[in-house]
Each structure stands twice: as C-alpha cells, then as structure tokens.
Amino acid sequence: MLKNKVAIVTGSTSGIGLGIARELAGLGADLVLNGFGDAGEIETIRSGIARELGVRVVYDGADMSKADAVRGLIAATIDKFGRLDILVNNAGIQFTAPVEDFPAAKWDAILGINLSAAFHGIAAAVPQMKTQRWGRIVNIASAHGLVASTHKAAYVAAKHGLVGLTKVVGLETAGSGVTCNAVCPGWVRTPLVDKQIDDIAAQRGIGQKEAARDLLAEKQPSLEFVSPAQLGATVAFLCSAAADQITGTAISVDGGWTAQ
C-alpha cells in the first residue's frame, strides 16, 4: 500500500514510535527513524527492519528540542529520498508535579518537544507534500489532548495544543491531497508506563500485575493496554485511500477513557 512512499517517524527508536515505524515499513514505506538511545541498539533496529521488510531505512538523530534540527530533518529526508509522504510526530517527554511546583525548565522542555517540534516539522514538510499533491501528517497526541489529569500541566497543555494544531493544518491543507490528523492513545505498555507501574507497586506494596490493573482501572474501562502495533495500524489506516476525507480530526484509541 505504501510502496515508494517515504515516512519520517520521530521518537521511533522505541515504544509507540517504533511500533508505528514497523507497521509503515511492513506496508512498503521507506523509513527515517529518529530518537535517542544506544548507537549499537539503534543500528540493530535500523538494519533489522531494512533486512526483514525489504525497505530503505535510515537513522537521523536530530534533536527534537531544537527548531533548526527539526526543520533540518525534513530537509535532509527530502534531499536523500527526493520526497516526503508521511510525517508522524511522535516524539514526547513527560514530567509530573503540581502546577505550583512545576519547574519552568520542565514546562519549556515538554512544550518544546511535544508541541513545537510538531509545528516546525509540519511547517517544513507541507510545501513538499503540496507539491506532490499527496501527504499524510499524523500527530501522536494522547487522551490528555482531550481531557486532563492532575499534575500534568505541561503535558496536557502540549497535547491539547497538538490537537488544536492538527485542526488548523487540516483546514489549511484541505483539498490539496494532504491530510493532518491526531491519534489520541490511552495507556500504552511502554517503558514510560512500566516505570509508573513500578512506582505504584512500590508505593502500595503490591505486585506488578495488580499495579498495572490499578493504573488501568483509574482511567481505561477496557482494563487492557493499547499496543504500539494497534497504534501503527491506526496510523496506517490514516495513510490509506479510505482516509482521504479524514482530516483535522482526533481519533481516540483509549479503551473508552474519553467516553466517560
């Protein structure tokens, strides 16, 4: 379905981003991986996807906290592949604290990576996509792009902003062959969430399984985690012809979280 298409997935060296990247590669897209991590492990991931799925895969370590680096990632991709078809803005960081105790530097960092990076990437990618008369921009937001939780001022603000940005870009590109949508996951079993489960288990003196269930029970009625592969399949659907008229919208993949 995506043969001869080129996709960038930011924050794709692990977790949700890697799940999305694998799904797109499985459908034939050439890939630009991006993110931090051990150089050897990243190379193993890069070469493994290329070998297993028969697509071109490159790694670009652009720092998503720097505007010039984000725009440079887009330019370098177009320079290397001659096109850019799919941009998945997935890179994100998290920090929790009551608003009065929230460090200003953490606020700036979270808005920078979770929101501003998406803006810079989109602004740089849209001209190329319009020229091609085809493009898919998918912003990985969160259930927290639609509702709030305590102690997450910066994350909730950034993800709400990302949903708003999605709507604007969807309107501005309507009819051009380019679409822009947001995917809003609930709890996904990633290393970030594993740490929260560990904390709950330690605080309450309970096992991992019970701690995981407690975490889910608070927000996610299905009592099941969303998987990176499911999110990858959702992104793939948004890249399909069936989604040509879906733009400027937020799709919840959250086990019923925001239906409550």
Q: Which residues carry out catalysis?
A: 155
Cα–Cα distance measured from residue 148 to residue 155, given in angstroms and rounded to the nearest whole number:
9
Q: Give the angle subtended at the CA of 243 by the CAs of 7 and 81, to the nearest 5°.
A: 20
- List for the chain the helix, strand, coil content (%; round to 5): 55, 15, 30
Cα–Cα distance measured from residue 25 to residue 157, given in angstroms and rounded to the nearest whole number:
32
Question: Burial, 202: exposed, middle or buried (Cβ in 10 Å; 0-12, 13-18, 19+)?
Answer: exposed
